[in-house]
């Protein structure tokens, strides 16, 4: 009489089985892509695999929204193989959050509710481990059944492993290349188990990958009832004295408009027209100091306007309140223009920097936000609409920035101004701090005759050349970033031609 092998059929639903398999494959892929390698194109590949796993696990069909996500994800994933940057990471994270919302919570009616639910799910990673525990507990393989199943699996695997080992030894002895591959693989496994720190570090990587995979892939049901973020943002409480609240709003807006008008008038007299500064105020103080305070004032202004116009309709629809609010927004735009002009003047006297570029981008984003705020006040789109459109504007800025080599642009701009004006000094140390993107500009400086900065740039290049050669020798395809590789090859092979 033969004994039937124990059934390995699971009691999990088909969707849970797909999610579990996708999670396992994602963990294995992450280990292969990230272990002992710096991130590069591997991150884009992993992001694409994660999105594919989401679609497989949650069964989302092809629709216009998913096609748009794919169209945005593809160039962003490719960009990781060109240059991995903070903007690139933010874009990939945002697209991943949106994809989770469009797959796991596709039944929710509005985009904002789907995306908010997705963000909330990502903030609860422990739920993924609870799901894993639940499917293990619901498995029929428990107690004696698990022991019998393990015995059956061992009877299948162990003989196969023994036969495979024998043939591996024989083939490895007869084929030098295969033998080296087998020897390297065995050494890697033995070395991994022999190093406790390595075991601990890789275990942490597995835990992180498992937490990520389980969090995004676990099956979900449509939330019962409305979340707090699904509801329309209510107006501020009804004031006890509506007339007093109205005059308070009018007075505050009027005084703030006068204050901003004074600041803009000072800019018009001394910044826009280039008039002589008052005694005791230096040019550096006027164009540089206080820039961040002015930016903070603009951002705070937007918050105050939102709060004022979140009051009851009798206050926010008053003609005087609306007119003063719109005039204040216009004055904020003028103030932002003054801050941008300050940045331009400072760069003309000193140098461009990455920070100043990003400050300029932030000011453009704030200007767009003020435009959206104007639409909000005029058409009463709702505070939820205002928040969502500002998030989309922020995403658009990061999406564009991820493709720009800002460091290269800064380096080339500073060197071009230095070359055109022989009286101008160049901060070579800052130029070198811009990283691999500044290598072509450093070489230009080093090869410039009769300039004091040329020798300093030459010394920096010679010191970095061995590091570039080592980087290229150890480069793995998973860490590939095209811009770094191209510039490192230039540094490693180019011989600086100095003219004295």
**Based on the domain organization, do 425 and 332 belong to the same domain?**
no
Residue range 244-269, pLDDT digits in tens: 989 999 999 999 999 999 988 988 87
Q: Tokens 């499917």 sit at which residue? A: 135
Res. 12 pLDDT band, cuts 50 70 90:
low
The pLDDT, as a whole number, for residue 1 is: 43
- Phi then psi dihedrals of residue 487, to 5 deg: -70, -35
The pLDDT, as a whole number, for residue 99 is: 93
The pLDDT, as a whole number, for residue 7 is: 41
Among residues 333, 365, 381, the one where a domain terminates is 381
Res. 8 pLDDT band, cuts 50 70 90:
very low
**Based on the domain organization, do 208 and 274 belong to the same domain?**
no
**Based on the domain organization, do 269 and 344 belong to the same domain?**
yes
Residue 442 forms part of a structural domain: yes
**Based on the domain organization, do 199 and 293 belong to the same domain?**
no
Residue 394 forms part of a structural domain: no
Q: At residue 408, does pLDDT exceed 80? A: yes
State mean pLDDT over 239-248: 88
Of 129-143, 261-275, 277-291, 468-482, least confident by mean pLDDT is: 277-291
Mean pLDDT for all residues in the chain: 86
**Based on the domain organization, do 253 and 320 belong to the same domain?**
yes
The pLDDT, as a whole number, for residue 348 is: 84
**Based on the domain organization, do 28 and 121 belong to the same domain?**
yes
Among residues 381, 415, 449, the one where a domain terminates is 381
Q: At residue 224, does pLDDT exceed 70? A: no
Residue range 204-216, pLDDT digits in tens: 999 999 999 999 9
Residue 387 forms part of a structural domain: no
Residue range 178-191, pLDDT digits in tens: 778 877 877 776 66
Q: At residue 10, does pLDDT exceed 50? A: no
Res. 92 pLDDT band, cuts 50 70 90:
very high
**Based on the domain organization, do 449 and 478 belong to the same domain?**
yes
The pLDDT, as a whole number, for residue 267 is: 82
The pLDDT, as a whole number, for residue 137 is: 74
The pLDDT, as a whole number, for residue 233 is: 74
Residue 160 forms part of a structural domain: no
Domains contained in the chain, number:
3
Q: At residue 404, does pLDDT exceed 90? A: yes
Q: Spell 340-362 as b/e; 16+ CB within 10 A means b.
A: bebbebbbeebbbbeebbebbbe
Q: Name the more confident of 237 and 476.
A: 476
The pLDDT, as a whole number, for residue 140 is: 60
**Based on the domain organization, do 344 and 291 belong to the same domain?**
yes
Q: At residue 142, does pLDDT exceed 70? A: no
Residue 173 forms part of a structural domain: no
**Based on the domain organization, do 227 and 99 belong to the same domain?**
yes
Q: At residue 11, does pLDDT exceed 60? A: no
**Based on the domain organization, do 356 and 272 belong to the same domain?**
yes
Res. 171 pLDDT band, cuts 50 70 90:
confident
**Based on the domain organization, do 333 and 425 belong to the same domain?**
no
Q: Residue 326 is part of which domain span?
A: 242-381
Residue 163 forms part of a structural domain: no
The pLDDT, as a whole number, for residue 147 is: 63
The pLDDT, as a whole number, for residue 2 is: 44
Residue 319 forms part of a structural domain: yes
Q: At residue 447, does pLDDT exceed 50? A: yes
State mean pLDDT over 306-325: 90
State mean pLDDT over 60-81: 89
The pLDDT, as a whole number, for residue 145 is: 60
Residue range 353-399, pLDDT digits in tens: 998 899 999 999 999 999 999 999 998 888 888 999 999 999 999 99
Q: At residue 4, does pLDDT exceed 50? A: no
Q: Name the more confident of 66 and 409.
A: 409
Among residues 200, 233, 266, the one where a domain terminates is 233
**Based on the domain organization, do 224 and 250 belong to the same domain?**
no
The pLDDT, as a whole number, for residue 380 is: 81
């Amino acid at each position: 009489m033969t004994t039937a092998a124990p059934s390995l059929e699971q009691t999990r639903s088909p969707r849970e089985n797909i999610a579990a398999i996708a999670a396992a494959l994602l963990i294995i892929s992450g280990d292969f892509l990230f272990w002992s390698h710096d991130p590069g194109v591997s991150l884009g590949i992993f992001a694409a695999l994660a999105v594919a796993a989401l679609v497989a696990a949650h069964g989302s069909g092809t629709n216009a929204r998913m096609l748009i996500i794919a169209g945005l994800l593809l160039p962003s994933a490719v960009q990781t193989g060109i240059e991995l940057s903070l903007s690139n990471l933010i874009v990939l994270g945002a697209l991943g959050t949106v994809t989770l919302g469009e797959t796991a919570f596709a039944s929710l009616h509005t985009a904002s509710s789907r995306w908010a639910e997705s963000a909330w799910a990502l903030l609860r990673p422990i739920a993924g481990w609870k799901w894993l525990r639940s499917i293990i507990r619901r498995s029929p393989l428990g107690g004696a059944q698990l022991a019998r199943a393990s015995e059956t699996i061992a009877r299948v695997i162990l003989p196969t492993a023994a036969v495979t080992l024998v043939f591996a030894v024989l083939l490895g002895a007869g084929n030098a290349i295969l033998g080296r591959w087998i020897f390297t693989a065995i050494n890697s496994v033995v070395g991994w188990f022999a190093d406790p720190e390595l075991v601990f570090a890789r275990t942490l990587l597995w835990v992180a990958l498992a937490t990520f995979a389980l969090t995004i892939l676990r099956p979900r049901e449509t939330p019962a009832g409305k979340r707090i973020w699904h509801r329309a943002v209510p107006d501020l409480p009804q004031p006890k004295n509506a007339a007093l609240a109205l005059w308070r709003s009018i007075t505050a807006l009027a005084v703030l408009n006068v204050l901003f008008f004074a600041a803009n008038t000072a800019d018009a007299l001394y910044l826009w027209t280039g008039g002589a500064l008052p005694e005791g105020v230096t040019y550096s103080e006027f164009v540089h100091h206080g820039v961040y305070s002015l930016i903070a004032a603009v951002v705070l202004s937007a918050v105050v306007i939102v709060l004022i116009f979140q009051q009851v309709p009798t206050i926010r629809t008053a003609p005087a309140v609306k007119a003063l609010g719109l005039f204040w927004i216009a004055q904020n735009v003028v103030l932002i223009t003054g801050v941008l002009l300050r940045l331009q003047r400072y760069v003309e006297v000193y140098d461009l920097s990455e920070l100043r570029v990003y400050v300029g981008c932030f000011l453009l984003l704030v200007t767009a936000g003020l435009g959206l705020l104007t639409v909000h006040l005029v058409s009463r789109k709702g505070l939820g609409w205002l928040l969502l459109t500002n998030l989309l504007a922020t995403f658009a800025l990061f999406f564009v920035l991820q493709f720009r080599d800002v460091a290269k642009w800064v380096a080339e701009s500073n060197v071009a101004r230095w070359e055109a004006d022989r009286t101008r000094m160049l901060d070579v140390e800052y130029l070198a701090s811009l990283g691999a993107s500044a290598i072509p500009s450093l070489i230009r400086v080093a090869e410039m005759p009769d300039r004091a900065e040329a020798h300093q740039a030459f010394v920096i290049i010679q010191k970095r050349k061995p590091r570039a050669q080592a980087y290229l020798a150890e480069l793995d395809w998973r860490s590939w970033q095209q811009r770094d590789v191209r510039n490192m090859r230039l540094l490693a092979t180019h011989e600086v031609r100095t003219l004295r």
